[in-house]
Amino acid sequence: MNKAKVLLEALPYIQKFHNKIFVIKYGGHAMIDENAKNYTAQDIVLLKYVGIKPVIVHGGGPEINRAMEKFGKKPEFIHGLRVTDEETLNIVEMVLTGKINGEIVSRIFKFGGKAVGLSGKSGRIILAKKKRKFIEKDGKKVEVDLGRVGETVEINTELLDILINNNYIPVISPIGIDEKGDAYNLNADTVAGDIASALKAEKLILITDVDGIMEDINDPSTVYKKLTVSDVKRLLKEGKIKGGMIPKVECAIKALESGGVKSVHIINGKIPHALLVEIFTEEGIGTMITKK
């Protein structure tokens, strides 16, 4: 009977999110632990079966570094910026599309879901272009060639719509393709935000290895449960959001302001079943950002 109660407590959320798309970014650092990977995969399958439509975007940080080492490939820098040459891109693609992507697909399959692993090149999902980067040097603006680093030109949802409507869970690696057929490596958080906007997703959920946006970055008890876009902008201005969290909240703001996404969630993938707790309870477990 206790079990029944828990199920019924989830009912309002299940009803509210019925047939809605959730884009879940499932990151490098959150994927190291075997248990964490299983929790997330299982949670995703549950979401699918209670009527939500999950779309997965993944990154690959630490694994890419390890593969590069194995390949004896040294990181290259220009003006302190990391450069992605052709060979590095090959390694990135192999790790992202050939390893991490497949692992997620297998794990979702293991828990009873039907996933389809896709590079962003397939079906031209991520139409990209070379990202141009400028730095200041000797008081002048100088362009730095970062190599095969790209940014989104357009998300083509045709293939994703077909797969979603046929009850598959798309699992996408952040590799884009330009009009000439050349590949680029993109930032996974940004791609997740772009895809959430293009699919008019209800939620964008960024699974990380921290507990959310915190007042004091060293004290998890200071996690902000709910923030609005203007709260986040203020915290940015006040310098309270730092480091790797900055690009995350920037893509959150973009998805909420111009993409029609209803809420963005930043949660800690190391907490068992953080995804379910965040979605199916009033109090949640990480930080939820809404437009207003």
Q: Is 256 in the site for its own copies (CB under 8 A)?
A: no
CA gap 130, 107 in Å, rounded: 33
Residues 24-63 interacting with its own copies (rule: CB under 8 A): 42-43, 45-46, 49-51
Instruction: Tell me whether residue 112 is annotated as binding.
Output: no
Instruction: Tell me whether residue 185 is annotated as binding.
Output: yes
Residues 234-253 interacting with its own copies (rule: CB under 8 A): none
Pairs from 99-102 (Cβ < 8 Å, separation ≥ 24): 99/60, 99/63, 100/31, 100/58, 100/60, 100/63, 100/173, 101/58, 101/171, 101/172, 101/173
- What angle is formed at CA 266 by the lines to CA 248 and CA 169, rounded to 5 degrees? 95
- Under 8 Å between Cβ of 160 and 125: yes
Q: Is 115 in the site for its own copies (CB under 8 A)?
A: yes
- Under 8 Å between Cβ of 193 and 254: yes
Q: Is 121 in the site for its own copies (CB under 8 A)?
A: yes
Q: Please identify which residue in 29, 99, 262, 291 interacts with its own copies, judged by CB under 8 A.
A: 99
Q: Please identify which residue in 40, 88, 101, 185 interacts with its own copies, judged by CB under 8 A.
A: 101
Q: Please identify which residue in 57, 204, 232, 271 interacts with its own copies, judged by CB under 8 A.
A: 271
Residues 150-189 interacting with its own copies (rule: CB under 8 A): 158-159, 162-163, 166, 168, 175, 177, 180-183
Q: Is 280 in the site for its own copies (CB under 8 A)?
A: yes
Query: Which DSSP symbol is given to 217?
Result: T
